[in-house]
Structure 1
Amino acid sequence: MAYEMHFGAVLARSSEFVDGTINTVLLSGQGIVCGLAIGLAVALLRDHGPRWVKGLARAYVELIRNTPLLVQVFLFFFGLPYIGVQLTADTSAIIAISFNLGAYSAEIFRAGFGAIPKSQIEAGLGLGLTRLQVIRHVVIVPALKVIYPALTGQLTLTLLGSSVVCAISANELTLAASKVESLTFRSLETFLIAGAIYVVLTFVFRLAYWLIGLWLFRRKDAAAFRMTEAVAVRRERVQA
């Protein structure tokens, strides 16, 4: 007998899907912001830090990239209480996602930094820029423009990968769908709707990344032009 799909009972609990979607956006958003900050810091430390710091950063990247996200979620949620740190499921999920994304984004950032010729860095230092200004304007900004497609692709994977945190009952879309399925017994219909929501979220996030890229790089290009003019003026004063 052919299976007949009925979405009525599932759609009657649409408020739970809405709450789950909002929680997924909030959870993923916090993880993405923290993860990018961690990744940028680790990438800079691996390239410009002392030798022992480089070793620690490399160990962190290798450890995270060679273990599954689900295992990392379990370690934060079930492991930290053994050392007296009690975290909620949502907090554990955000921390795990942040550290996971931090390791992957660090390697993406480093790939971008490696694409910047050393001659440009030396030229920036030679023109009187401080090391911090060189890192900011000569290294990070051009590198970010190069790696932006790969970086946003990783952010999309982070959004979708956040579904695994339902294993510790963190409030997000997959957990909401599981609750709806257990109440309605309509598994196929429930997860078809959840899958459709994830597809919509993915396209919304990709549109947001595209708009951010347009705004960011136009702004950065203008800032770089102003920096170039300032350096030229400084060089003329020195020569005079």
Structure 2
Amino acid sequence: MTLDFSVVTDAWQALLFGTFGTLFLAVAGMILAMIIGVLGVAILRAQRPVPSFIVNAFVEIIRNTPFLVQIYFVFFALPMAGIRLNPTTTAIVALGLNGGAYAIEIIRGGVESIPKGQTEAGLALGLHKRDVFRLIILKPAIRAIYPSLCSQFILLTLTTAICTSISAYELTSVGQRVEAETFRSFEVYFTLTGIYLVISLITMWFLAAIGRRAFNYPVR
């Protein structure tokens, strides 16, 4: 077999835009996931039976079903209820819902690690429950679970490859297009593997730098 990576270099611009598409889906999906995660934990802490049941059911359904089925449901089933989304929006919603379920569990674990005495102290100082949750509970909890959230973000970034199943514009869909035009499967998918690896390593470095800056408090 003769290798010919010229088909990849000729398509470098398309692959670059596909990489940006992957990063856009990952960042947008993670932002939505964090919003869902924080809201879900806040609902669970309110200890109201019906909303708590809905959140717990959502977490169990998402965590125990394949992402491919979830994205197909959003893309193909929701139009039957009158909700039609384009592939990019569908991908972001599906990624956000999937990541949100895991974020709820991660954030809940961090919140539950905060001693109850800190909450009682905040209430004793006259702080509103919302401020106690935001300032005294949530920020230290996020500091404790930051590595887990980073791992989840990287996993979500790699999961964007499945979004090619609904023709969302991202790296794998671009790679499939190049492969279909050139029939050079090894060269194309070898290159995609390398690009995803670089994305993951750069993302790990970037998130670690943010963590050092945001959560490493100076010792006095």
1:166-205 correspondence runs (5 A): 166-205=164-203
Instruction: For residue 49 of structure 1, report the CA deviation from its aligned partner.
Output: 4.1
Residue segments in structure 2 that go unaligned for 5+ positions in a row: none
Aligned position for 1:13: 11
Q: In structure 1, what residue type is equivalent to 2:162?
A: V
Q: Does 1:72 align with 2:55?
A: no
Q: Which of 109, 127, 130 is the equivalent residue of 2:128? A: 130
CA distance in 1, matches of 2:131, 2:14: 48
Percentage identity across paired residues of the two chains: 36
Amino acid at match of 1:199: L
After TM superposition, the structure 1 stretch with the greater mean CA deviation from structure 2, 196-205 or 121-130, is 121-130
**Matched residues, number:** 219
- Contact kept? 1:113, 1:139, Cα under 8 Å: yes
| Contact 1:10 1:184 survives alignment (8 Å) | no
RMSD: 1.5
Aligned counterpart, 2:104: 106
Give the secondary-structure state (helix, strand or coil) at the position aligned to 1:119: helix
**Bigger CA radius of gyration:** 1
Q: Can you list the C-alpha shifts for 1:139-186, whole angstroms capped at 9, x where unaligned? A: 101111110001110110000011001001000000000001111111
For the 8 Å contact 2:28–2:92, the answer to whether it is kept is: yes
Letter in 2 for 1:95: V
Please tell me whether residue 44 in structure 1 is matched to residue 42 in structure 2. Answer: yes
Q: With structure 2 as the length reference, what TM-score do the two structures score? A: 0.95
Match of 1:86 among 84, 87, 104: 84
| Cα contact 1:17–1:173 (8 A) shared by 2 | yes
Which residue in 2 is equivalent to 1:234? none
The one-character-per-residue Cα deviations of 1:24-71 (angstroms, maximum 9, x if unpaired) are: 111111111111111111012112241211111101111111111110
d(CA) in 2 for partners of 1:214 and 1:10? Answer: 37
Partner Cα distance (2:177, 2:196) in 1? 17
Q: Answer whether contact 2:26 2:153 (CA < 8 A) is retained.
A: no
